[in-house]
Amino acid sequence: MTDNHRFETRTIHDGYEDKSHHNSLAAPIYQTSTFTFETAEAGERRFAGEDPGYIYSRLGNPTVRMLEERIASLENAEAGLAFGSGMAAVSAVLLNLVKSGDHILCSEGVYGCTFGLLKMLEGKFSIDHDLLPLDSVEQIRSAIRPTTTVIYIETPINPTLKLIDLEMIVSVAKEYGIQVVVDNTFSTPYLQRPLEFGCDIVLHSATKYIGGHGDVVAGLVAGSKDAMTSIAKSTQKDIGGILSPFDAWLLLRGLKTLPLRMDRHCANARSIVENLSSHPRVKKVMYPGTETSPSYAIAKKQMKYPGGLISFELDGGKQEAQEFMNKLKMIKIAVSLGDAETLIQHPSTMTHAVVPEGERRRMGISDSLIRLSIGLEAWEDIWEDVLQALEA
Ligand SMILES: *Cc1c(COP(=O)(O)O)cnc(C)c1O
């Protein structure tokens, strides 16, 4: 649509053409379930695919299409798709790519409900998976089976914020003809664009940074035109986890400020990391932007900035962590992330409570680990709240 504009410009303009919509500056919300055909023959042509108009909103809606074009532009993809939640996006992608008997190789530490979906696929359809650190070529090679069709990764990994080297994953996957799918929720296309490293499909919980205001649940996917058409015509159309026009509009609006918000989230996170790291009650800070982080080199290579999430371990265990959280005054206790408000959660009793304890330990999730999603407030106010709770 707009040729060769920079990322910040594309977040505002791509996917929308005011001239085609009565010169309305803001994108209109096409709040309709269906579209009329002028004649029976026109309807026939539309169903036959000879006429490109809309038919019914589960199969496509103009406001949703604007968002799909915008995310495609931002991920540097040929096409995009929108869903009613991040999990609707994850399930539509995976169910499209795998069949009974296949094997999925996953990064250790995937989103809790993605883990639940993998278990469901295993139980109901004999689709196996392995969860591994995926931190060396040898390890990936030895985990690949003749039935492996997908490598599914999250980077940064929640909540330890370890990174996976996308270039390395792709180099091995290509040798075996395996599709690489990346959940890019924590990074957003502003910080990291997996398709540029050769990954095949990128997806998001747009509920988080892309919406950015804590008021919408949504999912987005981007990839090749063929891959997106295949998903649109199968698991999106027939399972039906589509996005509403109003929620698409909220995301179109949220995306306009994505670069500004991410700059602030990341700058705030850097300031909080510096202060947290030198506090005597803090045992360990996990942030891919610190030089001592095992992921520092990968962050430099594949991310613009290391993100707005910080995990840290307090002196003590579960009780000390919970006491600390209860003493916070401004910072809200909530799961989710990427909102204007700074949010804090306790992974071992919240987002990762379903993961068996042994597995949690192996992943580096102790009972004193706390995750902060740094918001857009003045960083000094965030730090002052953390500090008074640490010292109370
Ligand atoms: C939140 C989240 C999801 C699920 O998204 P929903 O919009 O809640 O369905 C998937 N992956 C990651 C990394 C998430 O943070």
* Residue nearest to ligand 1 atom 9, measured at CA: 86
Determine the longest span between alpha carbons in the chain, in angstroms: 75
Question: Ligand 1 within 6 A of 219 CB?
Answer: yes
Over residues 151-184, the pLDDT tens digits come to 999 999 999 999 999 999 999 999 999 999 999 9
Query: Does 241 share its domain with 292?
Result: no
In a domain, residue 59? The reply is yes
In angstroms, the CA 243 to CA 208 distance is 15
pLDDT at 2 over 60: no
Kind plus residue range of the DSSP H or E element containing 126 = none
Mutate to test the pocket of ligand 1, among 181, 207, 350 (most ligand atoms within 8 A of CB): 207
State the pLDDT at residue 4: 82
Are residues 278 and 328 located together in one domain of the fold? Answer: yes
What pLDDT sits at residue 3? 64
Distances (CA, A) of 341 to 210, 214, 379: 14, 9, 11
49: left (phi over 0), alpha (psi -120 to 50) or beta: left
Q: What is the pLDDT of residues 72-121, one digit of tens each?
A: 999 999 999 999 999 999 999 999 999 999 999 999 989 989 999 999 99
Q: Supply the CATH number for residue 385's domain.
A: 3.90.1150.10
**Is the shortest distance between the CB of 85 and ligand 1 below 6 Å?**
yes
Domain boundary among 211, 237, 255: 255
Residue 5: is its pLDDT beyond 80? Answer: yes
How far, in Å, from the CA of 265 to the mean position of ligand 1? 19
Q: Which residue out of 157, 185, 210 has the highest number of ligand 1 atoms within 8 Å of its CB and is therefore the one to mutate? A: 185
**Residue entry with tokens 């003493």:** 327
Residue 280 sits in the same domain as residue 210: no
Pair of tokens at residue 315: 């002196």
Last residue of a domain, one of 255, 277, 303: 255
Ligand 1 closest atom vs CA 186: 13
Do the domain assignments include residue 339?
yes
Domain contains 1:
no
243 and 268 in a single domain? The answer is no
Answer yes or no: pTM beyond 0.85.
yes
Q: Is the CB of 367 under 6 A from ligand 1?
A: no
Give domain status of residue 2, yes or no.
no
Q: Are residues 157 and 293 in the same domain?
A: no
Number of domains in the chain: 2
> Are both 285 and 251 inside the same structural domain?
no
Q: Supply the mean pLDDT for the chain.
A: 97
DSSP class of 92:
H
User: Which CATH number fits the domain that encloses residue 106?
Assistant: 3.40.640.10
Distances (CA, A) of 61 to 50, 168, 246, 248, 305: 18, 38, 11, 10, 34
Q: Are residues 249 and 335 in the same domain?
A: no
Domain end point (choices 255, 272, 293): 255
The CA 47 to ligand 1 mean position distance, Å, reads: 34
Instruction: Verify that 271 and 224 share a domain, yes or no.
Output: no
- Residues 279, 212: one domain? no
Q: Which atom of ligand 1 is nearest to the CA of 114?
A: 10
pLDDT at 359 > cutoff 90: no
Over residues 365-369, the mean pLDDT reads 96
CA dist., res. 157 & res. 161, Å (int): 5
86 Cα to the center of ligand 1, angstroms: 5
Q: How far is the CA of 85 from the centre of ligand 1 (A)?
A: 8
Nearest-CA residue for ligand 1 atom 7 is 86
Give the 3-state secondary structure of 263-331. HHHHHHHHHHHHHHHCCCCEEEEECCCCCCCCCHHHHHHHCCCCCCEEEEEECCCHHHHHHHHHCCCCC
Are 265 and 243 members of one domain?
no
Q: Which residue has the least CA distance to atom 6 on ligand 1?
A: 86
Give every CB contact of residue 221 below 8 A, 6+ residues apart in sequence.
71, 80, 81, 82, 83, 89, 92, 93, 201, 202, 203, 204, 228, 231
375 and 339 inside one domain:
yes
From 113, 186, 352, the mutation candidate for ligand 1 (largest count of ligand atoms within 8 A of CB) is 113
Alpha carbon distances (Å) from 23 to 31, 35, 248, 278, 372:
18, 22, 19, 54, 42
Indicate which residue's Cα is closest to atom 11 of ligand 1: 111
Percent with pLDDT over 90 in the chain: 96
Domain that holds residue 349: 258-391
Residue with the smallest CA separation from ligand 1 atom 1 is: 205
Which amino acid makes up residue 330? M
Please name which of 142, 135, 205, 131 lies closest in space to residue 166, comparing C-alpha atoms: 135
Is the pLDDT score of 140 beyond 90?
yes
Q: Are residues 36 and 102 in the same domain?
A: yes
208 lines ligand 1 (CB under 6 A): yes
For ligand 1, whether the C-beta of 86 sits within 6 Å is yes
- The residues annotated with a catalytic role in the active site are 58, 111, 183, 208
- In the reported structure, the alpha carbon of residue 111 is separated from the centroid of ligand 1 by a whole-number distance in angstroms of 7
Phi then psi for residue 126, to 5 deg, are 55, 40
The predicted-structure confidence for 210-253, as pLDDT tens digits, reads as follows: 999 999 999 999 999 999 999 999 999 999 999 999 999 999 99
The answer on pLDDT for 1 being more than 70 is no
Distance 347 CA to ligand 1 centre (A): 15
